[in-house]
Amino acid sequence: MENPPVVDSNGNILADGDSVLLIKDLKVKGSSLVLKRGTLVKKIRLTDDPEEVDCRIEGSSIVLKTCFLKKK
């Protein structure tokens, strides 16, 4: 069975290495860090879960839900 495509909040298909924008302020669990709306995230990496992507922000490796992302 083939995995479903990974899509952003607008239904655009995401791929490894894409850049995305955050569409909502997000608090990072276990940290005082707040990611602001409009933050550009470069070089995302797809995960086994089609609703999540892995990325690096300010030196930290973070997993983001695709429902809060918009393809750049």
Domains located in the chain, CATH noted: 20-71 (2.30.30.40)
Are β-strands 52-57 and 60-65 bridged in parallel, bridged antiparallel, or unpaired?
A: antiparallel
pLDDT confidence of residue 1: 56
Give the predicted TM-score (pTM) of the model. 0.89
Whole-number Å distance between alpha carbons of 10 and 14: 11
pLDDT confidence of residue 60: 87
Structure confidence by residue, pLDDT tens digits, 1-59: 567 899 999 999 999 999 999 999 999 888 888 999 999 999 999 999 999 999 999 88
Q: Around Cβ 12, how many Cβ atoms within 10 Å?
A: 15
Return the DSSP state at 16: T
